[in-house]
A and B are shown apart, each in its own frame.
Chain A
Amino acid sequence: MGGVVRGSGRPARALVVLCALVLVAATAEIVLDGAVGHSPLIPKQPEIAGWLGGIGERLGYRVFLIALLAFTGAYAVMLGLARRVSKRWAIVLVGVLQLIVFAGPILISTDVFSYIAYARMGVEHALNPYTHGPSAIMHDPVYPYVGKDWKHVATAYGPLYTLLSYPLAPLGLKGAVWGMKLEALFASAGTLALTWRCARAREIDPVGALLAVGANPLWVIYGLGGAHNDLIMTLFMMAAVVLMLAGRSAPAGASVVAGALVKATGAALLPFMILSSRRLAPILGALGALALGALIGYAVWGIHGIDVVAALNRDAAFVSTDSFPTEIAHLVGKPGVFPIDHDLLKGALVVIVVYLLWRTWRGYDWIAASGWTLLAISVTSTWLLPWYTLWSLPLAVIARDRRLLVATLAVQALFIVHQISPLLVPVS
């Protein structure tokens, strides 16, 4: 066990090892039980993890929530001890967590089957995924796996992501699922590597930064477990930060736009980057990437391929039970959010962004301002999904303002707390 911690101290070493074991055990429990299938937490899916199926038991809410809480507790302790964890151990631990999840079934969400459906619509059926929902390919093998809320909904993702998903379509359903999982794994690993690099460049402990992102329960279980494309967006986002820190502001601007062409939220970094640099280069880089993306989007999918605003407006009207606006509505005795609440929330978001722009102009850390904006988007959104709380995390760990990390982790903790009622009163 030598080399587990930096410096000396047996208690710290024992605690680090214990936390690492809890993290690995909790992840393995969820994955192995999830591989059995027939669970409300595991979406119906082709048998991709059948080889793990004989080890665990059907994953119920109780076991899942206990594992999630154990993971979260160990993560919190591990963060507290991050300065004591050795570089090699941190990398191995994070790598093991990612690989365990990669080997298992798709967890929690059906989104990945929507991604595959959109890809197959374009490649196998010559349909435009920006004008048709998966219901247009009812006889395709992926259709039964698409979430029921999304069967009639055209893609809301950017043209770059849709292009990235197209090569996976001819691989068959299982091949495409593994392709999506591989994309998510590479995106996660890439984001972590870039976060490490940014932390070193900013003289922040890279081990702490790596653990804060790569061993985060929502990152591992929900983000990577569901093979969400948000990880690809964060990859481009962090690439932009690395480029900016290296003084290459034109490619940095282009990288932000590339992230936004995966998922539009990624564009949140751009105004802060431009204000901070006060140079033309990031604007030119962003415009160049935007022009290229728009050209390709228009050539392949027509005007709908570049109409990001319509998709954003549509999604902004959705409401999820986990969103903070819904919780506040319940607190004041309302059954949920009303149309006027959407307008009020948009207004609040505008005020926050304008304030952050002003602060950035006055010299505030643009990375922190970008992170606050992404966090504000997720908190004010009526459609909050767990992987949205990941957007600000890689920025938070390298921001000069440590309040951002505290706020991001607090929001994530509240999300986890909101899940626990089945544990308190299990229904059978």
Chain B
Amino acid sequence: MSDGTAELRQFAIAVGRIADGAYEDVDGVITKGAVNVKTEMIADVKASRHFKGMAGSITYEHHNTPGVIRREIGPDKGRRGGALGNIYYFGTSRGGGSGDIEKPLNTEEPRLMGAMQALVDRWAGQL
């Protein structure tokens, strides 16, 4: 009759295996989400009569640090039209700011949460 030690060891090995790949798994989900957000931001700005010229300036960058997965998405001021980004989204001293910076995030949020849930379910299936 087992005292449970062997099962516990197997469980620990399985958890360790999942933990080894977890960072890359989550990084992949976040990257996919960032691409989707960027794509929608570009589509939105292309629909603007006055700001469509800045569409090519919208990029995303990896800002990962140990234990933290982060993407920065938006107009790059170093690219053509990028300096118009703050005017498009936030206006000037006289108003404006017709771009909705939260809309692409709101669109992506349920998709991202679904992908994260699927990832957790996959991990659970490996235990």
| Pair from one complex | no
B-binding residues in A (CB < 8 A) = none
Query: Interface on B for A, CB 8 Å cutoff?
Result: none
